[in-house]
Structure formats: structure tokens, C-alpha cells
Amino acid sequence: MKVRVPVMIQDPATARFEEMPVLEHFDIEREEFFLDGPVTRRLAVVDFDPRTGMVTATVPFRPAPEGRTLGVYDVVSETDLEAEDLLKVSVFGMVLKTMYMFEEEDTLGRELLWSFEADQLLIVPRAGEWANAFYERSSHSIQFFSFKGGGASVHTALSRDIVAHETGHAILDGIAPDLYNATTPQSLALHEAIADMSALIMAFRSHNLRESILARTVGSIKQSSAFASIAEEFGLAIGRPGSLRDLLNDFSLDPEAEHPIAHDEPHELSQVLSGALYSTIVRLHEHLVQELMGQGVAKLPAAGKALGLA
């Protein structure tokens, strides 16, 4: 059975800036079963009322009617971004979409394993009021917080970048568990860089985001955009001039570099690696676009297709 769920394209602020829809849909096909929650064998959404701390009601699952193959979770409105049912289902869908990317044949080629001794990763979409989100091995969970920023509520669970980033942490912990408790900033920076690259690849895989950005940049990913910018809404809400991090950078470990970085801060240090990887992706993308155009494909379709090959 296939289950269709709404997922965030980027975040609400970016959707307004890019003048594109906030949501798109993702079809889940690999799970053994679906329960109210949402819950599957591998994921369980556990939500708490921010006022009382009590666990909230689950979102009902509606199996496909007889003769049909498409089930859904009963989200009342896909336009109300403050609605708890949409928050639960959209974060559930994006976590699964990120997991599936890692399980593809040209990535791991197998089902993911968590670093803890349990089948289910817990997703907490409203863990409390704080400008933060994190994966925590001991509680088997990814916890997303909400906060006030710029006079509005910011839900980290409504940022595709943040959801994919934290899911990347959980996945990497299952692959290389020794990195989780590493004490060196370089080891922790590796975790952060891979998590940011997870967010980047999920951005490439959004049809709506690809279409919007490539139309504006005339097929280029060499410009600063919602591809390379990580967590735009979050960054602006905490007083940054832009996103939390930008993969389009020339950061270096050289202390004499034009833009030196703090060697002891993992998030900042990670940008050296993620920036180098993004530069490589840009060059590969440019090469593939030229190759496809040589085969008679127009530039914008070639640019979109190349992102699936890069």
C-alpha cells in the first residue's frame, strides 16, 4: 500500500520569498504497516501539548478504500501551518524521505540500522520552547523545538533543512556510532557536515524547489540560493543576516585565509568540508548540464535533470 503525506518544500519564510507553495506531497511505499500517530515499525511520532506537557491525540490513519491503493493520514487542513496534525504528518514524511535516500542502491543499498537497541526512532515535533532541534541517542529521538522569532512562531519541525539535517545525524549514528561521543571538534564537524549534505540532497529532490530556483538562476547552482542556504527561517529568526549556514563558501583551515574559521567550533568547522563538497557538486553539475545540452536538451530541463545525476 502507498501512503501520501504532505511535506515541507523548505520552510514558510523561504516559500514566501520564492513565491512557491509551502507543501508538496510524498508517497511512502516501503513501510510494513501504518498506525495512527503517525507510527510505523521504524518511526513513531510522539507529540506534547506545549501548555500542559500532556501527550496529544494521534493523527488517524485512513487505509486505502477497497479497490484503491492510496492511504492517507487525516490532516484536517494543509494550509494551517500551526495545526498540530499537519506538523506531525509533515515531519514524519520528511524523516522517512531522508531515510529512503540513504537506503537507495547507490547509497547504502540496505535498510538503516539505529545505534540503539530498538526498532523505532521517536519523532517529537513540539518538544518545548527553544531555538533548537537535536538527535539524542539515549532517548531514541529527534526533538524539534519551537520559539518566537521576529514576532512570529518558528517551528523547527516545519523546516525541511532542519528535519533532514537531524535525520542525517540519527542515520550517521547508526553507521558510525563512535563519532557520537567524539571529543575532537573535527570528528563532531564531520557529523555536522554530513547532516548538512543530507539537507542539501533533499533540497535537490524537491521538484517545486528545483523549478523555482533554477528558473531564477537560469539553471545555475553556483549562486547563493535555498539549495546552499541551510535553515533560512531559523537563521533570520535568531538575528542572523541570512541562513544558519551557507554551503556556498570559501572557508579554509588556513589561519591567514580571508575568512578564517574557529577550529574549536564543530558547526563552523564543518563548513570547510561542506563548502568543498558543494564546490565539487557545482562543477559536476555544470559538466552534466553541458553534456545534456550537447544531446539536445534545453538548458533549464538539463539543469534539473543534472541535479538527479550529480
The CATH number given to whatever domain includes residue 117 is 3.10.170.10
Is there a single domain that holds both residue 173 and residue 212?
Answer: no
pLDDT confidence tier of residue 95, bands split at 50, 70 and 90: very high
Domain count, the chain: 2
Q: Is residue 64 part of a domain?
A: yes
Q: Is residue 188 part of a domain?
A: no
**Could you tell me the residue range of the domain that residue 219 belongs to?**
202-309
What is the pTM (predicted TM-score) of this model? 0.96
Q: Is residue 58 part of a domain?
A: yes
Is there a single domain that holds both residue 23 and residue 140?
Answer: yes
Average of per-residue pLDDT values in the chain: 95
Is there a single domain that holds both residue 55 and residue 148?
Answer: yes
Only one residue has cell 535568531, namely 238
Is there a single domain that holds both residue 6 and residue 126?
Answer: yes
pLDDT confidence tier of residue 310, bands split at 50, 70 and 90: low
Is there a single domain that holds both residue 207 and residue 280?
Answer: yes
Rg (CA), the chain: 19
Only one residue has cell 516559500, namely 15
Instruction: Report phi then psi at 3, rounded to 5.
Output: -125, 125
SS3 state at 73: strand
Number of residues written out for the chain: 310
Q: Is residue 196 part of a domain?
A: no
Is there a single domain that holds both residue 171 and residue 209?
Answer: no
Residue burial 256-270, b: 16+ Cβ < 10 Å; e: rest:
eeeeebeeeebbbbb
